[in-house]
Amino acid sequence: MTGRPEALFPLFAGAEVLPGVGAKSAQALAQIGVTRPRDMAFTLPYSVIDRRPVATIRGLAAPLVVTVEVEVEAHIPARRRGGPARVFVRDAAAELQLVFFHARGDYLEKILPQGARRLVSGKLEVFDGIAQIVHPDHILRPEEADQLPRFEPVYPLGAGLTQKLMAKAAAGALARLPALAEWIDPALKAREGWPDWAEALRAAHAPQAQADLAPTAPARARLAYDELFAHQLTLALARRTARQSPGRATLGTGTMSRKVMESLEFAPTGAQRRAVAEIAEDLASGRRMNRLLQGDVGSGKTLVALLALLIAVEAGGQGVMMAPTEILARQHFEALAPLAAAAGARLAILTGRDKGAERAAKLADLASGAIDLLVGTHAVFQKDVAFHDLRLVVIDEQHRFGVAQRMELGAKGQAADVLVMTATPIPRSLALAQYGDMDVSVLDEKPPGRQPVRTALISTERLGEVVAHLSRAVAEGRQAYWVCPLVEESERVDLTSAEERFAMLRAALGEGVVGLVHGQMPVAEKDAAMADFVAGRSRVLVATTVIEVGVNVPNASIMVIERAESFGLAQLHQLRGRVGRGAAASTCLMLYQAPLSESGERRLQILRETEDGFRIAEEDLAMRGAGDVIGTAQSGLPRFRIADLERQAGLMAVAQSDARALLVQDPELAGPRGRAARALLWLMEQDRAIRLMEVG
């Protein structure tokens, strides 16, 4: 297939083809993302107004929208300019007033002639004991009653848009719906009781009750599924393409990993063993690996990564591990160094700080194969960095790396296998949306012997007690992080508060005991402060959130978070995960500014209740919605018009397995359902999938 199917043309015309839409309203529609009939069809009402007429307003609990037939009794013009004009009317059993502001001339007498009967519909309110409708939405002659929809959909509006315009445009879009063959698995459709596509759209635009607006309403669920299915089909195509692209069979000998195992003071967890086995299998296959390693903080991802990297080295190749920041790259380097030494693998680090002759020497060693393993920041992928035989790329803490970017990396034809590690557990539905093209290994088991972190909520008023507690803990040889509040978006304000806190704690605890790191420090200073803390020279580290990801200082057993209520759940979980890594019992003190908002209180309570990152992630999604849990823009998480990842989480998993199954049954998408699915991809503008279909 080359080009969009003709059947879809009517939906991809300009918005002006819609009834009632001119150049100006087309512009207004564009502001809410509607530029074609297709977009209008997918813009669903979010509410519905019941306009079924009642005989009288008597006994109704205002305020509410009513539709009632009335007789016009009298007009009371506005007494002053800008004041209200009133029309006294009566229904079968009660009196009410229709109120108008800025009515011009004899307009009111014309539409509401004295003695005439009219059907009026609008919001009934009681003001000073008088029932009234201010500016009724509809005024009709009784014989025109059938023009009034009994259920009126309510659309999202933007500037310059009215419900009337939206309803008319939507009706126009629905009139253009082509007949499309079904792309949903018939068994699934029957089981769920879903309507056909066009029927679903018509039903979704014509809700008859609030229940029809629920994500579980069959029409809505079906349309949501269409979006998810199209997205998963794209991911499944990408996955297939990646797996088909010639990979290299990388087989380990086990010699190096055995030495590492012997050097460890602990045994790997079952989850770690499983993950390594899954990775080893991918590496050994001729297919390109594209795998996600998901594990909570402290679940031991580093060891898994190292064992994977060593397979590449044992096979005579090289491996690289990329971290998002200099600090983390350095930490990885330090954590890996003893293990690599035990294995007999040559490890090096490359960051933006490497310059001149030293850098040139490292590049030469990489190119010659004298370096087996490289750890670093983005610097490892600079243009002039050439490897002798790169087999495995590990990307750490990179949930900022979007689907699109990952696919581009794949499209560059880099033959290396890819392992992405996420530090933050994310809910399953999001994982499927974001990483649906990847295979996933989960570290769902923490290394044994971890002590739970005691989490306490403390009002800021008790700051003095906290400092006293800290002072005792430091005297006992313990170490602590002190995270300063995210006062505002501005780094500068955060900085001021961090510096102030630093000064205050230094005064209280003593010179030299307290260190400071923040995002705006020169890298060298930051590293020096970190190094002091890691080595135990400083006992308390005051920080902005730069320590959020990955930092590992086992002796640190106290985490103080100021203004904890200003942080998100995932962030708090990450921060707390910095402690509880050693043998000592750990504490997390969350200082909050009273009074807490309801959501602030819920967030902090959840953290007190559980340390399970996956549960926290699910709660986070439920509280904030998908877009915020992983910022849409950076995450590459697709934006769905209808599907709601939070409330339709289950559908995403179904869509993934169905999409993968369809590609197995009909690899060319050439059968009837396959061709229908192609039309869906065009309909949903899955350009990437379309490109993949055309090459594949």
Contact residues: Mg ion, CB under 5 A: 550
Residues numbered 598-617 forming contacts with ligand ADP, rule: CB under 6 A = none
Amino acid at 572: L
Residues near ligand ADP (CB under 6 A), total: 16
Residue 266 contacts ligand ADP per CB under 6 A: yes
Residue 300 contacts ligand ADP per CB under 6 A: yes
- At its nearest, how many Å lie between ligand ADP and the CB of residue 17? 54
Piece of the chain touching ligand ADP by CB under 6 A; list 112-120, 228-236, 297-305, 519-527? 297-305
Between strands 373-376 and 347-350, the pairing is parallel
Q: Pick one of ligand ADP, Mg ion, none as the site partner of residue 268 (Cβ within 5 to 8 A by kind).
A: ligand ADP
Residue 299 contacts ligand ADP per CB under 6 A: yes
SS3 305: helix
Q: Which of 295, 324, 402, 425: binder of ligand ADP (CB under 6 A)?
A: 295
Nearer to Mg ion, 425 or 550 (CB): 550
Extract the tokens encoding 103. 């009515």
Q: What single-letter DSSP state applies at residue 521? A: S
Residue 297 contacts ligand ADP per CB under 6 A: yes
DSSP assignments along 534-584, one per residue: HTTSSSEEEESGGGSSS---TTEEEEEETTGGGS-HHHHHHHHTTSS-SSS
Distances (CA, A) of 268 to 172, 278, 395, 458: 62, 15, 21, 37
Amino acid at 423: A
Query: Do residues 544 and 483 lie in contact, with contact meaning Cβ atoms separated by under 8 Å?
Result: yes
Binding track, positions 562-591, relative to ligand ADP; x by CB under 6 A = -------------------x----------
Q: Which class for 171: exposed (0-12), middle (13-18), buried (19 or more C-beta within 10 A)?
A: middle
Where in 130-222 does DSSP place strands (E)?
Answer: 130-134, 138-140, 151-154
Q: Pick one of Mg ion, ligand ADP, none as the site partner of residue 169 (Cβ within 5 to 8 A by kind).
A: none
Q: Pick one of Mg ion, ligand ADP, none as the site partner of residue 298 (Cβ within 5 to 8 A by kind).
A: ligand ADP
Q: Pick one of ligand ADP, Mg ion, none as the site partner of residue 446 (Cβ within 5 to 8 A by kind).
A: none
Nearer to Mg ion, 252 or 550 (CB): 550
Residue 172 contacts ligand ADP per CB under 6 A: no
Nearer to ligand ADP, 68 or 297 (CB): 297
- Distance (Å, rounded) from C-alpha 296 to C-alpha 577? 9
- At its nearest, how many Å lie between ligand ADP and the CB of residue 198? 49
Nearer to ligand ADP, 217 or 323 (CB): 323
Q: Which of 218, 447, 519, 600: binder of ligand ADP (CB under 6 A)?
A: 447
Residue 319 contacts ligand ADP per CB under 6 A: no
Q: Which of 302, 377, 429, 648: binder of ligand ADP (CB under 6 A)?
A: 302
- Distance (Å, rounded) from C-alpha 413 to C-alpha 693? 17
Extract the tokens encoding 529. 């402060």
Helix axes 649-665, 672-683, angle to 10 degrees: 130
Piece of the chain touching ligand ADP by CB under 6 A; list 36-44, 268-276, 375-383, 629-637? 268-276
- Distance (Å, rounded) from C-alpha 17 to C-alpha 228? 28
The residue ranges that bind ligand ADP (CB under 6 A) are: 266, 268-269, 272, 295, 297-303, 447, 552, 554, 581
